[in-house]
Every structure is written in C-alpha cells, then in structure tokens.
Structure 1
C-alpha cells in the first residue's frame, strides 16, 4: 500500500496530498531559501508531479529566479512549495506536513550560508509552550483560546462554522 502524506498552510486555505514517500528530505541553507522561509533554513522534500495534488484552494506563486517558483498561501503567508519549472517534480516544505516528525531530513544543501552557531543552538536547554512564563501565563492561555490554526489533518470544510 502506498503511503499518503498530507499537509497544508496554517489557516487551512491551501491543502495538498502526496501519494508515496518524499524524496531527499533535506534542509536548504542557501540565502534564497532563508529569505523565502524567513528563517535560517528551508526544510524540503520532493514528490513526482503525478503523485502530488492540491486538495483545497490554490497557492499563490513567486518566481524567486528564472527557473524557480515558490508556492505559498496568500491568506496566511505559509511557504508551501518549491518548484523548478520544466522538472517533473515539486518540493513541499516539511514544516507544512501534518506529521513533520515522520519525514526527517537526510541531507543539507546551501551550506555556504549555514549559520555557524546552528549546531550549538540545537543543544541548548529549552522549554515547552506550557512552561512559557509571560504575564503569569495569560499570553499562552489567550493564544490557545483564540487559535485559528488548521488542525494537522484533512477536514471536509474550513474554517469550521461558528456557533
């Protein structure tokens, strides 16, 4: 049985599905991916075009170079796709997967722009969201109580009807 991988943007306006495993899940540290992600690297994994489908909405596209376009949700801004035109595949952002832990990166690219302190940051102590202490926990409770993030699974409709 072929595994199915699903994902989408933060607000749920754009959803997608990949039929089969993702090829070469990796972290790209190149400066163009840093800018596109608004982060220190972009986690990506590849799918063949015929194994990929958009199941809800339509992404917007930005041509970051001549051969490359990047898909994102125009409603919430989530980066979703990296596509080289003329190539029979598309890369999805691993963080947009419903189960991102299921697809660990196996390689890195663009190491010329990799942050020199990144390995040290991974071993520093951290805390969970529930451990966050800001204004006596009010901030965390307010965020949880007003969360508009799409759940990590497909839904028939989104957003849900408000009662």
Structure 2
C-alpha cells in the first residue's frame, strides 16, 4: 500500500480528540488535510467506521493508520506518520484542545482551538462517551 500526494495540503495541525487518540494509539495526531483528488493510491486502503460521520483508512498488511475521511468533506485528513518524509509538514495549530490530556503539556506558541461542532463536516456527530479505565 503506497500513496502519493500531488497537491499542497490546505492545513496541517495537531488533533487532540479522543477519536484520533484511539485511532493512533498516541496522545494526539498530526493531520495533513489534502484534496481527495490530490492523493494517488497504489492499492486499496482498508477502512473502518470510527464515528457516525467518518471512516478511518489503514494499511491492511501492516496496520499503519493512513487517513480520516469525513463524509461531508472534500478532503482527507492524512496521518503525518504515514508519509515517507514528513519533515516539511509542520503543524500550524492545535485542534480539539478541550480533549487534550492534562499531562500533555505543549510548550509551543501555536494557536489553540476547541472543536467546532458547528462545522458542517461534523454535523450530526454523536460524541463518544468517555470509557472507564480498566
């Protein structure tokens, strides 16, 4: 499974939402937003539904998380860790900071934004209730 991005990203940012935490197994994710038509795939990514408004794509062979696909978006949010050379893909802000883990202290000066539930892309989102520790 390989891909090539043929267009410049519209945005690169940290996401601190619980869905990205679960999808990546990390405290946050860096999302690279690109036009769907700007991604050329060699192979077909596997998918699963991560919420009532989005699917996640991953490599079926190795399990690498590849993208977040909102049904109402013209773009895919590619996972920065899936890129062969992500050095130039610098985040410009933090998103979903209301879900940021309390110990995840970022000492950068990037702008911070709460989740915008008014965004048409998130219309109809049913928030996932927090899970109890096991």
Same fold, TM exceeding 0.5?
yes
Find 1:77's aligned residue among 54, 59, 63. Answer: 63
| Pairwise CA distance, 1:18 | 1.2
RMSD of the TM alignment (CA)?
A: 1.8
Q: If the length of structure 2 is used for normalisation, what is the TM-score? A: 0.74
Helix, strand or coil for the counterpart of 2:105? Answer: helix
Matched, 1:64 2:42: no
| Pairwise CA distance, 1:115 | 2.2
Q: If the length of structure 1 is used for normalisation, what is the TM-score? A: 0.61
Find 2:81's aligned residue among 95, 109, 112. Answer: 95
The gaps in structure 1 that reach 5 residues or longer are 1-13, 123-163
- The separation in 2 between residues aligned to 1:44 and 1:81, in whole angstroms, is 8
- Asked if 1 retains the 8 angstrom alpha-carbon contact of 2:5 and 2:38, the reply is yes
- The separation in 2 between residues aligned to 1:89 and 1:70, in whole angstroms, is 13
Query: Greater helix share, 1 or 2?
Result: 1
Moved over 6 A (4+): none
* Counterpart for residue 113 of structure 1: 99
- Asked if 1 retains the 8 angstrom alpha-carbon contact of 2:7 and 2:35, the reply is no
* Counterpart for residue 40 of structure 1: 27
- Asked if 2 retains the 8 angstrom alpha-carbon contact of 1:29 and 1:111, the reply is yes
1:116-131 aligned at under 5 Å gives the runs 116-119=102-105
| Pairwise CA distance, 1:77 | 0.8
| Pairwise CA distance, 1:120 | 6.5
Helix, strand or coil for the counterpart of 2:27? Answer: coil
| Pairwise CA distance, 1:49 | 1.6
- The separation in 1 between residues aligned to 2:89 and 2:60, in whole angstroms, is 25
- Asked if 2 retains the 8 angstrom alpha-carbon contact of 1:70 and 1:81, the reply is yes
